[in-house]
Homo-oligomer: A and B are copies of this chain.
């Protein structure tokens, strides 16, 4: 049995939902309400001592950290693949994913924004902060996408969505939620629009999860 401890609006949770769906796996939704601090309760800390979403539990074995979970899914369930076969191409796909995984999302998640509001003594999310990291990271991804003439419109690599799209679609969702202007990123917007037509992405969308507020 595959269980995913997650939260409808968490970007890292969203990534793993997409990957599970792209792999065609049958999985169970386990809800963590981050706003109610479910992830800091002893029952969840027994599963994931870091106290962060998501955690994937496969036949009782626990996997944490979404980048590690995605690599695990690729190794344990190789078909359909999320990564190309060529070593150099795999590295370039992973690099685009890591721009989001390391240089955008970690700076804009709930615990970091909460801490930042405390430091700056403001009530509102600091849009300049959020927008800077999203815009700089998306600009880098656009530049890398422009270097690949073989790329199909609507995909980051080849002609099927894969690892990068698992990161990109949740980050575009978050950018829109924060009101960040995305018109400078046409390739990213085209990829997001194409993915929105695919069932794996539709079923993973934050609006449609068991814990999504009515």
- A interface residues, Cβ below 8 angstroms from B: 49-52, 61, 63-69, 71-72, 75-76, 87-88, 90-92, 94-95, 97-99, 101-103, 105-107, 112, 115-116, 119-120, 126, 128-129, 132, 136-137, 140, 143-144
Contacts and interface: CB of A to CB of B under 8 A. Distances in A.
Nearest to A73: B91
Nearest to A98: B65
Given A94-B68, A98-B68, A102-B102, A115 B129 contact: yes
Contact of A64 (B95, B119, B132, B136): B95
B106 A90 contact: no
A160 to B, nearest CB: 20
Contact of A144 (B49, B95, B102): B49
Contact of A126 (B71, B75, B119, B144): B119
Of the candidates A68, A88, A112, A129, the one having the most CB atoms from chain B within 10 angstroms of its own CB is: A68
Contacts of A49: 140, 143-144
The CB with the most chain B CB atoms within 10 A, among A64, A69, A132, is that of: A64
Contacts of A66: 98
Contact of A72 (B64, B71, B87, B136): B87
A68 B75 CA distance: 16
A115 B115 CA distance: 15
B98 A67 contact: yes
Taking chain A's interface residues, is the majority helix, strand, or loop, or is none over half, making it mixed? helix
A90 B72 contact: yes
Nearest to A75: B87
A63 B95 contact: yes
A106 B87 CA distance: 26
A66 B143 CA distance: 18
Nearest to A91: B72
Nearest to A87: B75
A80 B68 CA distance: 21
Contact of A119 (B72, B120, B136): B120
